[in-house]
Structure 1
Amino acid sequence: MLRLVTTSLCLYCQRAQVTPLLLTRPRSVIFQEENQLVVNALYDLSVDISKVRKLKGWVLRQSPVYVSETATLLRDMGASGPVIARVLELYPEAILCNPDQMEAQKKLWMSVCATHKDLVGIIEKFPASFFTSSSDHNNQKANIAYFQTLHLNKRIISKLMASAPQSFSRPMKQNEEMIQTLQKTYLDLGGKEDNMKIWLQKLLTQNPYVLLKLPNALPDNLAFLRNVGFTGDELLRLLSKLKGFVTELNPESMRLTLSYSQETLGCTDAELRQIVLQCPALLYHSVPILADRFKGLLAAGVSMEQIMETPTVLELTTQIVQYRIQKLHSFGYDVRSGSLEFLNGTKKDFEMSYGKLLYGSDRMAALSCK
């Protein structure tokens, strides 16, 4: 039978809710009480304790912890009180990192960050990438040194470390193998060596997780695409447009989506290749997703000819397309008899297109300059 045990709290401690201690039968797991010193220290930093309890409550029951040391490290780099609170709410595990480990991480990251302000900005967005295991430190150091030999600028390297920390925590040789595969592929497809660094930087920036893929997936997928008629130059363009997605595909999935798309559009092999170059979504979206998008467009009165003229509309979800069609219709624009170009792009792109219809291109140009 469970027995609930509570303790009396002084006025100071009553500001933080104490997790009850549950005593169970012998041999059952005994749940620890929260470390009240940790709760109080976080409270003093204006951390929302309820958020921590909800997402990472186990951290409040740990010992030893380094709340003041973590806050001091961030404060010394210029982090404000609200920033420190946000970091600890988002990633309370940070207080479990040994101070020596944190100093080593700070030194490592400053080798690729221009200022402390830049590093604080990264920690605020990607705290888990900074407060990482000490066992990863040597791999991180080796990977930074390797990427520097590629003459990638520091901003690119720091962005890679922040957004794809797994690639820096693993042995450097694995990243080297993938990078060499990408470089060889680029050159084999006709890319110029003088432009390779810029191409590689753009690819890694757009999809840093490409480093975590299997190197042999890239040549296998490109071999399939060659067999369906894409030239080396077209494959290079496609590889750049896919932003690394080509490493996440496989020949069978591409065969299915290409076959479905060609049958649905009723186009020739050559026409299909041109459509894919404009809209790579025909390669990496599954048949059910593409079927739903075709269905949504046709239900709105859009013709197959219009879709073939502007295939990039298939990159948008059915919900987004429906919303934009209704928005344009409210202004009096009928997509059934007009161009689908107005549906394309990001939310900002669409708002600009809508504004041009509403105010005229000259008026929108004037507004955008303000």
Structure 2
Amino acid sequence: MGTRTLPFRKRLCPVSRQHQVIMTWCLKMARRELMQAAGNLLLYSGKYTCLLRLAEHKLHNPLQRRFFCIHVQLIEKQPKENCNLVNRLENMGVDVCMARKRQPGVLKKMITHEKGLTDFLQDKGANKNLVASVISRYPRSITRTHEHLEKKWEIWHGILKSDSEVLKVLERSPESFFRSSNIANLEKNVEFLSSVGLTSKQLARLMVKAPRTFANRMELNQQMVDYLNDLHVGLGGENTTEFVKQIITKNMFLLSQSITRVKANIEFLQTALKLSNRELLLLLQGYGADLLDLCHDYVKLNFRNIKFQLLALGCTDEQVIHFVFRYPPLLYLSPNTFSDKIDCILKSGIHIQQILDKPRVLDVGINTLTTRISRLQDIGYNFQKDGIGLLEFSKTRFEAKFKKLL
């Protein structure tokens, strides 16, 4: 008889019967411990499902002397929408699709206060359409309790002086009213910003345009004000309170930004425009304040584009700096927008120097510019002789002036 050949695995690793029995027992005990651990984990996790994966080839191979591990993946069950809530909102006239896009988590809540919100707002003079619009645009409003609404309304009423004015703000921007859930922090912010010198009208504008200001911790707003105070003193200013008030009223979004961003933009403006401390102070108290909340990289990109375009048209560095200094909002214009407007004006025969003298003409939309230039050219208007000031007029002023030219 031929010699019996063992399978490949056994030929490489001959083991005794006793050894096999011991290893089998060890594997059974290991599996038992694993199942017990998995059961404990399932009980502990509650709403999670545990998926256990084991490398079986490592367990069945008695020669493996490596530690094995369990791969556990926790999958959180996503709660479904509250169908009863969705039906109630639809019956109220709420645009559920809009609400779902804006704050989908609200539609999954089991406890909400949409009826209380409706009764409260209607008691203040709101109609059903306004209530439905508010919930559609800011669904989180239905999570506010009656007590919360009463306290917040009292604060707003103290600033705006009447329920109808609060409703007007609520209609324009429901987020501005419902965003902050911390009443104590809201009170601190109102008190602090009033101490800075902001009037009720200015506080109201701030609430509408930059509601995050009032959701910030009061300490963060105070840090920005302190920074502006130090900046003003460092630049040689004499009326710090008025300076801070001017900056905030000119740029309502400033308090919603980080000091790092504001500081970077100020330093760039001073360096790029080669400004003295006094010139920088004048810039910030004017149009320059509008730029401080912009992305720093965006400001730099637009400035470099303006410089590149104007230098290519024969302007000097000094002309570029003077151009931007006279009207800093030019830095809002993206490279493509700036290029398109410059090309549109120059094609009509207007000289680049005329644009440098009237930078606000670039505030006008390109379609409006094209139409106005064409209409003026049709009646024989001479841009070289009579200037380009008409192009930057408001619609009403332009039409009135155009009639006089006919």
Change over 3 Å in CA distance of 1:220–1:163 after alignment to 2: closer
The residue type paired with residue 264 of structure 1 is: A
CA distance in 2 between partners of 1:97 and 1:110 (Å): 18
Q: Distance in 1 between matches of 2:124 and 2:280?
A: 45
2:174 is aligned with what amino acid?
P
Q: Name 1:85's counterpart in structure 2.
A: 132
The counterpart of 2:249, out of the listed 205, 212, 223, is: 205
Among 259, 276, 281, the alignment partner of 1:231 is 276
Distance in 1, Cα, partners of 2:365 & 2:126: 39
Whether the 8 Å contact between 2:95 and 2:136 is mirrored in structure 1 is yes
Kindly tell me: are residues 151 and 226 of structure 1, through their superposed partners in 2, closer, same or farther at Cα, counting changes over 3 Å? closer
Question: Hey, what's the Cα distance between the residues in 2 that align with 1:37 and 1:230?
Answer: 59
Equivalent in the alignment of 1:10:
none
Matched letter for residue 253 of structure 2 = Y
> What residue number does 1:309 align with?
357
For residues 236 and 88 of structure 1, do their structure 2 counterparts lie closer, same or farther at Cα, with a shift above 3 Å needed?
Answer: same
Residue-by-residue CA offset, 1:207-253 (whole Å, 9 max, x unaligned): 22111333244454444444443233432332221333135336854
Aligned to 1:185: 231
Query: Contact conserved, 2:102 with 2:138, CA < 8 A, in 1?
Result: no
Deviations 1:274-324 (A, max 9, x none): 322332144443444422332222233322122122122223343332233
Offset at residue 127 of structure 1 (A): 0.8
Where does 1:6-25 land on structure 2 (aligned, <5 Å)? none
Return the offset for 1:188: 4.0
- Choose from 272, 290, 293 the match for 2:320: 272
Aligned residues of 2:290 and 2:329 also touching (Cα < 8 A) = no
Write the distance in 1 (CA, Å) between the matches of 2:168 and 2:335.
40
Name the CA shift for 1:50/1:286 in 2 (closer, same or farther; >3 Å): closer
Sequence identity percentage: 24
Aligned residues: 328
Q: Does 1:299 align with 2:344?
A: no
Structure 2 distance, partners of 1:57, 1:246, is 33
Residue 108 of structure 1 is matched in structure 2 by 155
Give, in whole Å, the separation in 1 of the partners of 2:97 and 2:330.
Answer: 45
Offset, 1:126: 1.4
Assess, with a 3 A threshold, how the Cα gap between structure 1 residues 222 and 76 changes in structure 2: closer, same or farther: same
Check conservation: 2:302, 2:335, Cα contact below 8 A. Answer: no
Match in the other structure for 1:149: 195
1:367 equivalent in structure 2? none
Cα distance in structure 2, aligned partners of 1:269 and 1:49: 55
8 Å contact kept, 1:279–1:315: no
> In structure 2, what is the equivalent of residue 119 of structure 1?
166
The answer to whether the Cα contact below 8 Å between 1:206 and 1:243 also exists between their aligned partners in 2 is yes
The offset of 1:69, in angstroms, is 0.7
SS of equivalent to 1:71? helix
Question: Could you report, residue by residue, the CA deviation over 1:60-110 in whole angstroms, capped at 9, with x for unpaired residues?
Answer: 554222222101211222223433233233323322323233223223333
- TM-score norm. by structure 2 comes to 0.68
Structure 1 position 192, deviation (Å): 4.1
- Higher gyration radius (CA): 2
2:389 maps to 1:341: yes
AA aligned to 2:372 is R
State whether structure 2 residue 397 is matched by structure 1 residue 352.
yes
- Partner deviation per Cα, 1:9-65 (whole Å, 9 max, x = no partner): xxxxxxxxxxxxxxxxxx99788466346534653x554566556766765554222
Q: Distance in 1 between matches of 2:170 and 2:148?
A: 15
| Structure 1 vs Structure 2 CA RMSD | 3.5
Gaps of 5+ in 1: 1-26, 362-370
Amino acid in structure 2 at the alignment position of 1:137 = I
| Letter paired with 2:254 | V
Deviation at 1:190, TM superposition (A): 4.8
Given that residues 311 and 317 in structure 2 are in contact (C-alpha distance below 8 angstroms), is that contact kept between their aligned partners in structure 1?
Answer: no
Change (3 A) 1:191 1:284: farther
Pair 1:116–1:89, CA change in 2 (3 A): same
In structure 2, relative to structure 1, the CA distance for the partners of 1:298 and 1:212 (3 Å cut) is same
- Structure 2: state its 5+ residue gaps: 1-74
Q: CA separation in 2, counterparts of 1:149 and 1:30?
A: 46
**Is this contact kept in 2: 1:230–1:273, CA < 8 A?**
no
